[in-house]
Amino acid sequence: MTFHFRGNMTQRASLITSGLVFSFLWGVYHDTLAQEIIQPAHVPGYARLLKDDGRLPSDNQPLAGRILLGELNCISCHPADEATLASSPILSRSAPVLDQVGSRLRPEWLRSFLSDPHVFKPGTAMPDVLAGMNDDERKSTVEALVHFLASTGAVTEMMTDRTAIERGEARFHQLGCVACHGPRPLDRQLADASPSAISEAAPSTDQNNPADSDTDDDDDDDAPKTYDPGPSSAAYFVSLGAPAKKYSLLSLRQFLLDPLLVRPSGRMPAFKLTEEEATDVAAYFFRDVEMNPNVSWTYYEGTWDSLPNFDELKPAAEGAAVGFDLSPAVRKNQFGMRFAGFVHLATAGTYTFHLGSDDGSRLTIDGKEIVNVDGMHPYQQKSQPHDFAAGIYPVVVDYFQGGGEWIVTVEYEGPGLPRQPLASAVTLTADDKPLKTVHFDVDPDLAARGRALFGELGCAACHTLRENGQPIVFPSHDKIPALTQLNPRAASGCLGENPKSNVPRYPLTSTQLQTLQSTIASLKNRSDQKSTDAQLTAMAQERVHQTLAVFNCYACHQRGEVGGVTRDVNEFYVTTTPEMGDEGRLPPTLTGIGDKLTLDWLRHIFNEGTNDRPYMHARMPKFGLDNVGLLVDEFPKLDLVAATERPESIEPDHRMKSNGRFLVGGKSLSCIKCHRFGPHAGTGLSSIDLATMTQRLREDWFYRYMLNPQDYRPGTRMPAPWPFGQATVRDILGGNATQQMLAVWRYLEEGPQAAVPSGLIAEAIELIPQETPIIYRNFIEGVNPRAIAVGYPEKVHLTFDAENCNWALIWHGQFIDASRHWTGRGNGFQRPLGDHVLGFDSRPAFAFLENENSPWPASSAAEQHVQFRGYRFDKKRQPIFRYRLPTLSVEDYPEPLIDESHPEPGWRRTVTITSSSDSSDAAAPLWFRAASGSSIEPQDDGSYLVNHALRIKITRAGDVQPVVRTIDNQTELLIPVTLDDGKAKLVIDIIW
Partner 1 sequence: MIRHHLLRRLLNVFVIIATGGSLSAQDQSPTESDYYRLLTLPIPEELVLEIGGIELLPGGKLAVATRRGDAYLVENAMTDPPENVGYRRFAEGLHEILGLDYKDGSLYATQRCELTKMIDEDNDGLADVFDTVSAGWGISGDYHEYAFGSEFDAEGNIWVVLCLTGSFTSDAKYRGWCLRITPDGKAIPTCSGVRSPGGIGRNHKGDMFYTENQGPWNGMCSLKHLKPGGFVGHPGGFRWYDITDAIGPKPLEPESGSRMHIQAERIPELVPPAILFPYAKMGQSASGIACDESDGKFGPFTHQMFVGDQTFSTVMRVYLEEINGVYQGACFPFREGFASGTLPLEMMPDGSMIVGGTNRGWGSRGAAPFSLERLIWTGKIPFEIHEMHIQPDGFELTFTHPIDASTAENLASYTLETYTYIYQASYGSPEVDHTKPAIKKAIVSDDRKSVRLIIDGLQIGHVHELHAEGLRSHDGLPLLHTAAYYTLNELPE
* 180 or 788: CB nearest partner 1: 788
Q: Which is nearer to partner 1, 437 or 772 (CB)?
A: 772
Show contacts with partner 1 in window 155-214 (CB under 8 A).
Answer: 208-211
Region from 29-37, 72-80, 221-229, 890-898 binding partner 1, contact rule CB under 8 A = 221-229
To the nearest whole angstrom, how small is the minimum distance from the Cβ of residue 90 to partner 1? 37
CB of residue 379 to partner 1, shortest distance in Å: 23
Residues 793-822 that bind partner 1 (CB under 8 A): 802, 818, 822
Least distance (Å) from partner 1 to the CB of residue 678? 19
How near is the Cβ of 669 to partner 1 at its closest, in Å? Answer: 6
Using alpha carbons, list the distances in angstroms from residue 928 to 193, 379, 852, 906: 60, 44, 12, 20
Closest CA to 656 of 542, 732, 544: 732
Question: Considering the complex, what minimum distance in angstroms separates the CB of residue 796 from partner 1?
Answer: 17
C-beta closer to partner 1: residue 134 or 209: 209
Of 776-795, binders to partner 1 (CB under 8 A) are 776-779, 785-786, 788
Per CB under 8 A, does 710 bind partner 1? Answer: yes
Q: What is the DSSP letter of 578?
A: G
Site stretch for partner 1 (CB under 8 A), options 429-437, 664-672, 691-699, 905-913? 664-672
Q: Rounded to whole angstroms, how far apart are CA atoms 387 and 345?
A: 11
Q: What span, in angstroms and rounded, lies between the C-alpha atoms of 750 and 653?
A: 12
Query: Residue 517 corresponds to which amino acid?
Result: Q
Residue of the chain from 37, 707, 964, 987 that contacts partner 1 (CB under 8 A): 707
Element (H, E) at 371: strand 368-372
How many Cα neighbours within 13 Å face the side chain of 335? 21
828 binds partner 1 (CB under 8 A): yes
Among residues 274, 728, 914, 966, the one that binds partner 1 under rule CB under 8 A: 728
Residue 873: Cβ within 10 Å count: 12
For the segment 610-649, give every residue that binds partner 1 (CB under 8 A). Answer: 644, 647-648
- Closest to partner 1 by CB, 59 vs 724, is 724
CB of 544 to partner 1, least distance (A): 24
Interactions with partner 1, residue window 580-599 (CB under 8 A) = 580-582, 584-585
Contact stretch for partner 1 (CB under 8 A) within 310-318, 443-451, 478-486, 727-735: 727-735
Instruction: Considering only the C-alpha atoms of the chain, give the largest distance between any 2 of them, rounded to a whole number of Å.
Output: 116
Q: Which is nearer to partner 1, 444 or 715 (CB)?
A: 715
Closest CB to partner 1 among 382 and 673? 673
Assess contact for 742 and 706: CB atoms under 8 A. Answer: no
* Residue closest to 405 by CA, chosen among 383, 380, 423, 382: 380
Site for partner 1 in 945-974 (CB under 8 A): none
Closer CB to partner 1, residue 533 or residue 561? 561
Q: Give the range of 4-12, 70-78, 421-429, 578-586 binding partner 1 by CB under 8 A.
A: 578-586
Report 53-82 residues binding partner 1 (CB under 8 A): none
Residue 197 one-letter amino acid: A
Q: Is 811 helix (H, G, I), strand (E, B) or coil?
A: strand
Segment lying near partner 1 (by CB under 8 A), choices 259-267, 307-315, 715-723, 957-965: 715-723
Kindly identify the residues of this chain, within the stretch 228-257, that bind partner 1 according to CB under 8 A.
228-229
Give the Cα separation of 80 and 93 in Å (integer): 15
From 168, 356, 666, 832, residue interacting with partner 1 (rule: CB under 8 A)? 666
By rule CB under 8 A, what string of x and - marks binding of each residue 744-783 to partner 1? Answer: ------------------------------xxxxxx----
Residue 305, helix vs strand vs coil: coil
Among 872, 876, 956, 983, binds partner 1 (CB under 8 A): 872
Least separation in angstroms between residue 579's CB and partner 1 is 6
Which of these segments, 591-599, 689-697, 730-738, 958-966, binds partner 1 (CB under 8 A)? 730-738
Q: What is the DSSP letter of 728?
A: S
HEC per residue, 778-802? ECECCCCCCEEEEECCCCEEEEEEC
- Computed on alpha carbons and rounded to an integer, the radius of gyration of the chain in Å comes to 36
- 736 near partner 1, rule: CB under 8 A: yes
Query: For residues 466 and 447, what is the distance between their CA atoms, to the nearest angstrom?
Result: 15
Among 869, 915, 955, 987, binds partner 1 (CB under 8 A): 869
Question: Contacts with partner 1 in 667-686 (CB under 8 A)?
Answer: 667-671, 673-674, 683-684
Amino acid at 43: V
Strand pairing of 906-915 and 888-897?
antiparallel
CB atoms within 10 A of CB 587: 21
Give the range of 146-154, 269-277, 551-559, 731-739 binding partner 1 by CB under 8 A.
731-739
CB of 305 to partner 1, least distance (A): 21
| H or E element that contains 743 | helix 737-748
* From 53, 135, 192, 579, residue interacting with partner 1 (rule: CB under 8 A): 579
Render 395-443 in DSSP notation, one character per residue. EEEEEEE-SS--EEEEEEEETTEEEEEGGGGEESSTTSPPP-BPP----
Residue from 650, 838, 922, 987 binding partner 1 (CB under 8 A): 650
227, 835, 960, 966: which one binds partner 1 (CB under 8 A): 227
Check residue 525 for interaction with partner 1 (CB under 8 A).
Answer: no
What letter does residue 963 receive in the DSSP assignment? E
Binding residue (CB under 8 A) for partner 1 from 813, 826, 857, 905: 826
Nearer to partner 1, 466 or 825 (CB): 825
Question: Could you tell me which stretch among 148-156, 495-503, 598-606, 719-727 binds partner 1 (CB under 8 A)?
Answer: 719-727
Number of residues that bind partner 1 (CB under 8 A): 84
737 binds partner 1 (CB under 8 A): yes
Chain positions 876 to 915 lying near partner 1, rule: CB under 8 A, are: 877
- Going by DSSP bridges, is the β-strand pair 766-767/816-817 parallel, antiparallel, or unpaired? antiparallel
Least distance between partner 1 and beta carbon 842 (Å)? 14
Taking contact as CB under 8 A, which single stretch among the options 737-745, 747-755, 849-857, 898-906 is the one that binds partner 1? 737-745
- Write out the DSSP string of 503-568: S-B----HHHHHHHHHHHHHHHT---PPPPHHHHHHHHHHHHHHHHHHTTGGGT-EETTEE---TT
Question: What is the rounded CA–CA span in Å between residue 82 and residue 485?
Answer: 14
Cα→Cα distances 756→462, 662, 678, 818, 832, Å: 54, 10, 9, 21, 27
The rounded distance, in Å, linking the Cα atoms of 612 and 575 is 13
CA 360 to each of CA 340, 377, 456, 782: distance values in angstroms, whole numbers, following the listed order: 17, 7, 58, 21
